[in-house]
Amino acid sequence: MVVAAAFNNDIEYQRILTEADSVEEVSDLLTNTLGVKKDHIDFLVGLGGIEKLRELYYESIKFDLTYGTKTCAFISESIYKNTAKHHPELFVNPENAEHGVKHRASLTSSIVDGLTIAQRMLRNKGIDTEEASFFDFGTGTGKPVLIAQHSDFGFGFKKAVGIDYYKEVIHKANENKDLAGLGDDKKIQFAFDDATHFRDFNGINVAYMYNPFDAEIMKRVELNLRKYAGNTLIIYNKPMHSELFEEKNWKTVHKGTNNDPDKCITIYSRGFEP
């Protein structure tokens, strides 16, 4: 019954989105009916107006309607900084909040596209995703990890770990794991940890990043991956600091050309045999 209700609602929401001809109409649906916060709406309008608002529905909210999750989050830089100042216990390293960038859930299609390309690259090397581990740096509410492991998407890694330095989103990620029906999956973990020091890698690793850090933190994460991760593919979505990988001789094995940075994926490789 819940699935049927979500399906019927989805049809109605799509009708409204299709017929709407103003930002105000779409904003009203997203805010008053679907609970999207005003700062999120304002940010998207500034990025691309009504089309970015429609994209939020199809690429984020629809995922949550389908799986019963609550991954569609928006956390500004100021929230990280203010929270770290007043509640440092909520951060692994509160000083890193000074380097925080806004958090938004990745577009569903970008996650799937990146994982599909990485899966194909592994298979070309004779490696199945069941032999590789997946790591989502700056996981937030956990959507990439859920997609990496949910049977609907067909990836199925040896394990999938979401890493974040903010305790509140780790709680939400674990709630989403339960809501998606994956609560008993021991292969899924959400780690309250510092990405610059995380070292629980395996022999074959696929890392995912959706512009999670500023240049200073990314520099430390790159060094940590280079020293400890071994055979690794990095799916770098919205690669704002790609030069930090290129100058350290990570091999660029895929370079996206989409004009929309939220859909632009670069994949780096290191450590695999030629």
- In this structure, CATH architecture of domain 106-270: 3-Layer(aba) Sandwich (3.40)
CB 265, CB 106: distance < 8 Å: no
d(CA 182, CA 195) in angstroms, rounded, equals 24
What is the reported pLDDT for 220?
Answer: 96
Q: Contact at 8 Å (CB) between 105 and 44?
A: no
Do strands 74-75 and 103-104 pair parallel, antiparallel, or not at all (unpaired)? Answer: antiparallel
Task: Give the pLDDT confidence score for residue 244 in this predicted structure.
Answer: 97
Label the pairing between strands 188-192 and 251-255.
unpaired
> pLDDT value at position 4?
42
* Domain boundaries along the sequence of the chain: 2-68, 106-270
Q: Give the pLDDT of residue 234.
A: 98
Residues of the chain with pLDDT under 50: 1-5
Asked if residue 206 lies in contact with residue 132, where contact means CB atoms within 8 angstroms, the answer is yes
Q: For residues 230 and 221, what is the distance between their CA atoms, to the nearest angstrom?
A: 14
pTM for this entry: 0.94
At residue 190, the pLDDT reads 98
pLDDT, one tens digit per residue, over 89-130 is 999 999 999 998 999 999 999 999 999 999 999 999 999 999
Q: Are residues 182 and 190 in contact, defined by beta-carbon separation less than 8 angstroms?
A: no
Three-state SS letters, the chain: CHHHHHHHHHHHHHHHHHHCCCHHHHHHHHHHHCCCCHHHHHHHHHHHHHHHHHHHHHHHHHHHHHHCCCCCCEECHHHHHHHHHHCHHHECCHHHHHHECCEECCCHHHHHHHHHHHHHHHHHCCCCHHHCEEEEECCCCCHHHHHHHCCCCCCCCCEEEEEECEHHHHHHHHHHHHHCCCCCCCCEEEEECCCCCCCCCCCEEEEEEECCECHHHHHHHHHHHHHHCCEEEEEEECCCCCHHHHCCCCEEEEECCCCCHHHCEEEEEECCCC
